[in-house]
């Protein structure tokens, strides 16, 4: 490992009070490949390089703290998280709306943005009191909104709302860092790796978060029935998800890639601008279009090889037009009753978070080197199955 990363590990250990066990996994090689790619390819600004270094350092500290908690509290690894309901689809397909609706039901366990950003107690902080972490997350979200105000038009960022487990998965350092910067060398290396350890570590982190919720008395003695998760990253690794979480059920969300891919490219380009002064929008469009094409192809292949009852198809248009009808379908799929009390909680959340109050997300495909014809061609198989032939995959 290069001297920079050795220094990063040493600083993490110092910040964690001398802890030295980072836990299992190939994190050292991953850090080395990532660091090299960031230095050679990403074109980071000085401020962006500092931000990313701080992000990696914080994740290393989290690993140390989590490993120490699991050693001192072996009951953490007995927490039951084997059967999550997992929302998976291309970005911009209604996954956030669906996850946050379901998260209003206390029978589902979910991670708020602050928990995915700060999953481990800070130095001097007790697991029963997360007030410092929540305050830091609120400040960080406010800073992000000030720095890139357009982000709210793309993703309704809220420190206290349920969000993706993507930032938890990043702690393995085997995750899509091209969300933040142009690192094709790292991305290519990542595509050749076994992602089992990513999901094994995600499971540990969910167990740790669930245990902390119990310490804070957020979860009663009888815990929530199951987790509700969501991130597009699972498109690439659905078979690993099922291997590590054998009881998982997957809700597949669908929307025409002709609409979603340019929108995703705009979001990725917005994030790249946090770390590089002049990120190339054409590179963003090319990379994310190809990555999502591979992801949808892979997900369809995995689905074809598995029992049909492990999946539920939901269309974006239905989620927007009839969210309660989609919720009813999801609850039937999950084998859970959608009670009037739960429906009322969902309605109250939707009333306080209306989609029509969000600013319009302005972009064109051409900004990112994309065209309708190219996207129709690249996603032809997926569109034929899930977009053009609506009768073939109905919402159940």
SS3 content of the chain, % helix, strand, coil (to 5): 60, 5, 30
At residue 219, does pLDDT exceed 60? no
Q: What is the pLDDT of residue 393?
A: 44
Q: Predicted confidence band at 157 (pLDDT cuts at 50, 70, 90)?
A: confident
213 token code pair: 């919720």
CA dihedral 159, 267, 199, 18 (to 10 degrees): -60
Query: Is pLDDT larger for residue 124 or for residue 356?
Result: 124
Strand order in the sheet with 85-89: 108-109, 226-230, 85-89, 249-254, 311-315
Least confident residue range of 131-145, 330-344, 346-360 = 346-360
Q: What is the pLDDT of residues 276-300, one digit of tens each?
A: 989 999 999 999 999 999 999 999 9
Is 280 within 8 Å of 188 (Cβ atoms)? no
How many residues are present in the chain?
396
Q: Predicted confidence band at 34 (pLDDT cuts at 50, 70, 90)?
A: very high
Is 53 within 8 Å of 15 (Cβ atoms)? no
Q: Predicted confidence band at 362 (pLDDT cuts at 50, 70, 90)?
A: confident
Q: What is the pLDDT of residue 149?
A: 74
pLDDT over 70, % of the chain:
93
Query: Is pLDDT larger for residue 156 or for residue 98?
Result: 98
Does domain 3-388 bear CATH number 3.30.360.10? no
What pTM value is reported for the model?
0.94
- DSSP assignments along 216-230, one per residue: TTSS-SS--SEEEEE
At residue 93, does pLDDT exceed 60? yes
Q: 23 — alpha (psi -120 to 50), left (phi > 0) or beta? A: left
């Amino acid at each position: 490992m290069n001297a920079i990363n050795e220094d990063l590990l040493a600083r993490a250990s110092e910040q964690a009070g001398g802890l030295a066990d980072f836990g299992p996994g190939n994190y050292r090689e991953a850090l080395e490949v990532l660091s090299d790619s960031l230095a050679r390819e990403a074109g980071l600004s000085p401020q962006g390089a500092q931000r990313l270094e701080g992000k990696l350092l914080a994740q290393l500290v989290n690993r140390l703290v989590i490993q120490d908690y699991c050693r001192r509290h072996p009951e953490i690894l007995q927490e039951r998280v084997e059967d999550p309901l997992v929302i998976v689809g291309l970005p911009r397909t209604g996954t956030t709306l669906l996850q946050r609706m379901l998260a209003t039901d206390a029978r589902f366990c979910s991670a708020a943005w602050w928990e995915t950003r700060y999953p481990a107690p800070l130095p001097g902080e007790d697991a029963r009191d997360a007030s410092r972490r929540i305050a830091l997350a609120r400040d960080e979200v406010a800073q992000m909104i000030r720095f890139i105000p357009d982000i709210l038009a793309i993703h309704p960022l809220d420190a206290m709302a349920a969000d993706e487990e993507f930032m938890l998965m990043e702690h393995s350092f085997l995750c899509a860092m091209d969300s933040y910067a142009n690192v094709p060398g790292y991305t290519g290396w990542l595509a050749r790796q076994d992602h089992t350890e990513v999901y094994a570590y995600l499971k540990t982190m969910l167990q740790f978060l669930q245990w902390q919720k119990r310490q804070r008395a957020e979860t009663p003695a009888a815990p929530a029935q199951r987790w509700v998760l969501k991130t597009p990253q699972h498109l690439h690794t659905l078979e690993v998800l099922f291997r590590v979480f054998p009881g998982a059920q997957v809700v597949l969300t669908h929307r025409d890639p002709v609409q979603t891919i340019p929108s995703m490219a705009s979001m990725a380009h917005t994030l790249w601008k946090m770390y590089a002064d002049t990120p190339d929008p054409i590179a963003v469009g090319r990379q994310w279009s190809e990555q999502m094409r591979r992801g949808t192809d892979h997900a369809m292949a995995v689905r074809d090889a598995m029992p049909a009852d492990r999946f539920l198809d939901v269309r974006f248009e239905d989620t927007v037009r009839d969210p309660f009808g989609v919720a009813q379908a999801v609850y039937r799929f999950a084998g859970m009753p959608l009670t009037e009390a739960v429906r009322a909680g969902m309605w109250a959340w939707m009333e306080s978070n209306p989609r029509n109050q969000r600013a319009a997300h302005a972009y064109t495909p051409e900004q990112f080197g994309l065209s309708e014809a190219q996207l129709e061609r690249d996603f032809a198989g997926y569109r034929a199955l899930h977009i053009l032939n609506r009768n073939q995959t109905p919402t159940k």
